[in-house]
Amino acid sequence: MKSDAVRQGMQQAPHRSLFNALGHTEEEMKKPLIGIVSSYNEIVPGHMNLDKIVEAVKLGVAMAGGVPVVFPAIAVCDGIAMGHIGMKYSLVTRDLIADSTECMAKAHQFDALVMVPNCDKNVPGLLMAAARVNVPTIFVSGGPMLAGHVKGCKTSLSSMFEAVGAYAAGKITEEDVREYEEKTCPTCGSCSGMYTANSMNCLTEAIGMGLSGNGTIPAVYSERIKLAKHAGMKIVELWQKNIRPRDIMTEKAFHNALTVDMALGCSTNTMLHLPAIAREAGVTLNVDIANAISAKTPNLCHLAPAGHTYMEDLNEAGGVYAVMNELNKKNLLYTDLITVTGKTVGENIAGRVNRNPEVIRPIDNPYSETGGIAVLKGNIAPDSGVVKRSAVVPEMMVHEGPARVFDCEEDAIAAIKGGKIVAGDVVVIRYEGPKGGPGMREMLNPTSAIAGMGLGSSVALITDGRFSGASRGASIGHVSPEAAVGGPIALIHEGDIIRIDIPANKLDVLVSDEELEARRKEWKPREPKVKEGYLARYEKMVTSANLGAVLI
């Protein structure tokens, strides 16, 4: 056992004395030491129930003959952090989570790990740690919240943000906003649409690191507790068989994850997280392959914010495995890959029934023949830009309009809510990238304001920042290179005509190469916005968004 390094032999007598201080018995000293990484806290709705999940995991581990030991991981609530300086501290926690988990796992020589995450950066951070530490590991998330109900319709957090925009446009009353406040988020759990947290929890199943239901069983269902017990039992089996994350998270497994991503219509943040996780697993994942996968992968789901179905509906329809079984009807997946079930992908998804063809479209009747995410390139984004194609209305798939340029999110929001943005405009928000932010803030407030004010079918937004999975519309993020390093987005002038062609994967400003070069010669780097603390260190170390915004 790996833990023999801290528990067996005369040299380890001092170590055993400390285990004795923890109350460990002689019997426990002979069993595998299973670390349980708990993301429980009392500020994130998706994490407030994780204490119960962790207790169920502990019971499962003990039932299977392991010794469960809990240690913590941090997590930020993106919704609470949204729209202010707090959002600079969201993406950056992904690396803190990975680093701190690596430290704890290796310092104490755990034989295996159970990761208990739920929300946006917590899931990819722990997947990165799993690949890096590479001891047998399984994931069990806290699960999605149930949808809210307002005026007879199901709602989610994106509805709440859009209500603020609708109020600013005079379309709803303050009392209406209050009703949304009270009813939109009715339970604990990750927000109920196909936002980043649920996207990553579903892709954890698709890549083979979570059991069936990990991404979709609602947080408040007792089935979630049973899933946690099974994960606790399964990790001991994985330890016995020595099945490790890098055995599971192979290049083909990431191909499967991207394919499922396209079918589900996941958050564009997956285009940041999958390359970062792959890098830790020793796999090079270039986001450019997303278009090739998208070209042959039909979009089968329109979950909120793209449509009016929610995670609870996907769960009832058969969940991620039902989606994968539909995809397998056209041989779009690698099915011979090992997973944490101890079985292959093909064995896992065999016979999984699509119980609701309105929630999961059959493979021969998709929402579109191409996938939910597109990578765009052009003279604004020589490396890449990313859009959630499945959440763009048809009339905005090709758009041409004048640039309305802002150098920070706050200025853009003020202009949108002040009525200064009109139909046809292309809002450009720059100096919000990984370095420029620093921290690459999500732009849910401006996209929600645009949608809430009735401009979602006529106004586009591009940024070197990123978007919440709750954003919808022609919202193009991750523009690389970013403005802070002199990327072409920094050279756009107010009024320049921008052309967006999503079907052709193109994003251009209609300015000559000579004019752009002249502007480039006049451009000067800006002073860093933050000069001390973690963000200052992050700004110096972070790479471009098209590389996953990883630290080097």
Question: Helix (H, G, I), strand (E, B), or coil: what is residue 233?
Answer: helix
Residues with catalytic roles: 468
**Rounded Cα–Cα distance for residues 378 and 385 (Å):** 9
Q: Which of 273, 290, 309, 305 is nearest to 200 (CA)?
A: 273
Q: Mind giving me the DSSP string for 166-179?
A: HHHTTSS-HHHHHH
270-280 and 93-108 helices, crossing angle to 10°: 30
H or E element that contains 235? helix 222-241
**Secondary structure string (H, E, C) spanning 115-134:** EECCCCCHHHHHHHHHHHHC
> What's the token pair of residue 91?
């993406």
Verify cis geometry, omega within 30 degrees of 0, for the bond prior to 481.
Answer: yes
Name the phi and psi angles at 4, rounded to 5: -55, -25
Distances (CA, A) of 228 to 185, 214, 225, 277, 462: 23, 9, 5, 23, 40
Pairing of strands 374-376, 384-387: antiparallel
Q: Which of 480, 484, 418, 417 is nearest to 452 (CA)?
A: 417
Distances (CA, A) of 248 to 91, 134, 244, 320, 333: 25, 10, 7, 17, 14
**Rounded Cα–Cα distance for residues 89 and 92 (Å):** 6
Residues forming beta bridges with residue 33, ordered by sequence position: 67
Q: Which of 127, 143, 138, 321 is nearest to 233 (CA)?
A: 138
Pairing of strands 112-116, 137-139: parallel
CA angle centred on 281, ends 39 and 204, rounded to 5°: 45
**Rounded Cα–Cα distance for residues 248 and 229 (Å):** 21
